Amino acid sequence: MKSFRHRLLLTTLAWIGILLAGLFIVIGQLFSFYVDAEDITTVWVSLASIFIVTIIISAVICNRIIRIHAQPIDNITQVALQLAKGNYRARAYETESLGTAQLSTTINILARNLQEITAVREMEQERLKTLIENMGSALIMIDRQGRISLVNKFFMNEFDLTKDDIQEKFYKEIDIPHVLERFIENIFVTESPARDQLEFTSGLNRKHLDVYGAPVLGEHERWLGIVIVSQDISELKRLEQIRKDFVANVSHELRTPVTSIKGFSETLLDGAYQDEATLLSFLEIIHTESNRLQLLVKDLLDLSKVEQTGFQVDVHPTDMNEVIGRAVEMIKPRVEEKSLHLDVQQEPTTVLGDANRLIQVMMNLLINAITYSAADTTIKIRLYHANGQAVIEVEDEGIGIEASEIGRLFERFYRVARDRSRNSGGTGLGLSIVKHLIEAHHGKVEVESQIGVGTTFTVYLPLWS
């Protein structure tokens, strides 16, 4: 900018110099007609001195004038440079100076507009980023060359990736399930949107993803790459499987007694009723099977009731000793039938609970203990207080449960070695009902068992105090 001012000054001075020089030469020539030859030198010297003084004065005056007029331009140029660099907060002085006033106003309007546009763009970018990061689904964008251009944190968490794993990488280089890679490949090939459910193994688990992929089109339908959005639906799939298993189990459990009732009654109707011994034994079987059917229906109804969301037990201060006493009373015939021994040790205890539901819990645990014990063994019932809770233990010396089975024991219809439990008369629903009921009491139930040694079920319930 300085050199521009210098050049302007020099040019102006050069013109002034040329004009003055021309003028003074003409004046000098005119003088030469009237002045003697000796005096002409003095005239030329005087003219030269005047010329030099005038040039110096002109230089000073021009410099001032140029400075005054060039300053706003200087300032505007600086602002323009700042704008070019991206500093949209720069503003020019809005002077009254002739000519530049409009320029500085215009450049300030330009700067303001640029600042507003950038602010809007930054806000939109921020909004989009927040949306992508918090959309609840995994997202990945891949450019036309197959290089990853954007990935959100859900995607990185889903596939255990770090920033370094994906930076500047092609999608084929990163560690994603093979099925997903094939899905991406397919979108690249077909160039059309697709949706699919993918299944793969991640560590020890089976995972299910609901994926949607589509090409990203820019202006004029230009192909920019593809975007993939995926949702983990493993939990949904698991629930669906549980529901399917449940229906299959219910059908299976119902079919056995129904088939047998139907078969035996048909045989009787075909004429077997005439033989009294057969009639009696078949009726016995039909009776047993219908009892089993009734039990199953009752357990199913119970289970569906306790599994309902918002299921609540009607809690009152309840004498736990009485609950145990009533349950023991009811199972006594079975205990005697199998020549088992009962050992009951209890502290006086009042819990917060629903007496009928707690009797149901105790019955289930005790009937299991009886069912899975050999004759002449002892079943111990203990009731005591620990850590501000009531603790009830039902311990048997029965066949025990494999450690690997314990985790699944409380599932609906789960029975350890189906054959072993098949003729136990149970439904496989007892322990799920127990668990739901105890949890509804804000308590918990635990199992400890050793094959061939015995099993202990421990129930914790809140004390009433």
Ligand X SMILES: Nc1ncnc2c1ncn2[C@@H]1O[C@H](COP(=O)(O)OP(=O)(O)O)[C@@H](O)[C@H]1O
In whole angstroms, how far apart are CA 344 and each of 324, 330, 378, 427? Answer: 9, 15, 10, 27
Nearer to ligand X, 62 or 406 (CB): 406
| Minimum separation from the CB atom of position 289 to ligand X (A) | 16
| Minimum separation from the CB atom of position 233 to Mg ion (A) | 34
Per-residue binding letters, 444-463, with ligand X (x by CB under 6 A): -----------x--------
The answer to whether the beta carbons of residues 202 and 210 sit under 8 Å apart is no
Q: For residue 78, what are its two tokens? A: 């600086």
User: Phi and psi at residue 354, in whole multiples of 5°?
Assistant: -105, 110
Closest C-alpha among 353, 379, 384 to residue 366: 379
- Of these partners, Mg ion, ligand X, none, which one is at the site of residue 228 (CB under 5 to 8 Å by kind)? none
Nearer to Mg ion, 257 or 430 (CB): 430
In whole angstroms, how far apart are CA 183 and each of 150, 179, 209, 271, 384? Answer: 18, 6, 12, 65, 60
The answer to whether the beta carbons of residues 441 and 353 sit under 8 Å apart is yes
Nearer to Mg ion, 72 or 426 (CB): 426
Residue facing Mg ion at closest CB distance: 430
Nearer to ligand X, 225 or 426 (CB): 426
Q: Tell me how many residues contact Mg ion (CB under 5 A).
A: 3
Q: Which of residues 324-383 bind ligand X (CB under 6 A)?
A: 364, 368-369, 372
Q: How many CB atoms lie within 10 A of CB 386?
A: 9
Taking the C-alpha atoms of residue 434 and residue 440, their distance in angstroms, rounded to an integer, is 10
Nearer to ligand X, 137 or 427 (CB): 427
The answer to whether the beta carbons of residues 313 and 437 sit under 8 Å apart is yes
- Of these partners, ligand X, Mg ion, none, which one is at the site of residue 396 (CB under 5 to 8 Å by kind)? ligand X
Nearer to ligand X, 158 or 302 (CB): 302
- Of these partners, Mg ion, ligand X, none, which one is at the site of residue 421 (CB under 5 to 8 Å by kind)? ligand X
Where does this chain touch Mg ion (CB under 5 A) — which range of 141-149, 172-180, 250-258, 365-373?
365-373
Residue 421 Cα to chain centre, angstroms: 42
Which of 368, 432, 449, 455: binder of Mg ion (CB under 5 A)? 368
| Minimum separation from the CB atom of position 151 to ligand X (A) | 46
Report the interhelical angle of 320-337 vs 355-371 (nearest 10°). Answer: 30
DSSP H or E run through 194: strand 194-202
User: Phi and psi at residue 408, in whole multiples of 5°?
Assistant: -100, 0
Q: Which of residues 373-432 bind ligand X (CB under 6 A)?
A: 396, 398-399, 401, 409, 414-416, 421, 424, 426-431
Per-residue DSSP letter, 59? H
Nearer to Mg ion, 209 or 369 (CB): 369
Q: Which of residues 43-72 bind ligand X (CB under 6 A)?
A: none
Nearer to ligand X, 410 or 464 (CB): 410
Q: Tell me how many residues contact ligand X (CB under 6 A).
A: 21
Q: Which of residues 373-432 bind Mg ion (CB under 5 A)?
A: 426, 430
User: Phi and psi at residue 191, in whole multiples of 5°?
Assistant: 55, 30
Nearer to ligand X, 354 or 396 (CB): 396
Q: Which of residues 162-181 bind ligand X (CB under 6 A)?
A: none
- Look up residue 52 and give its amino acid: I
- Of these partners, ligand X, Mg ion, none, which one is at the site of residue 302 (CB under 5 to 8 Å by kind)? none
Site for ligand X contains 115 (CB under 6 A): no
**Residue spans of beta strands (DSSP E) within 347-453:** 350-353, 378-386, 389-395, 444-450
Question: Does residue 155 sit in helix, strand or coil?
Answer: helix
Nearer to ligand X, 100 or 427 (CB): 427
Per-residue DSSP letter, 406? H
| Minimum separation from the CB atom of position 270 to ligand X (A) | 33
| Minimum separation from the CB atom of position 283 to ligand X (A) | 25
Helices (H) and strands (E) in the chain, counts: 13, 12
DSSP H or E run through 280: helix 276-307
| Minimum separation from the CB atom of position 451 to ligand X (A) | 9
- Of these partners, ligand X, Mg ion, none, which one is at the site of residue 399 (CB under 5 to 8 Å by kind)? ligand X
Residue facing ligand X at closest CB distance: 426
Nearer to ligand X, 24 or 372 (CB): 372
Residue 256 Cα to chain centre, angstroms: 45
Question: Does residue 272 sit in helix, strand or coil?
Answer: helix
Q: In this structure, are strands 378-386 and 389-395 parallel, antiparallel, or unpaired?
A: antiparallel
Interface residue list for ligand X (CB under 6 A): 364, 368-369, 372, 396, 398-399, 401, 409, 414-416, 421, 424, 426-431, 455
Interface residue list for Mg ion (CB under 5 A): 368, 426, 430
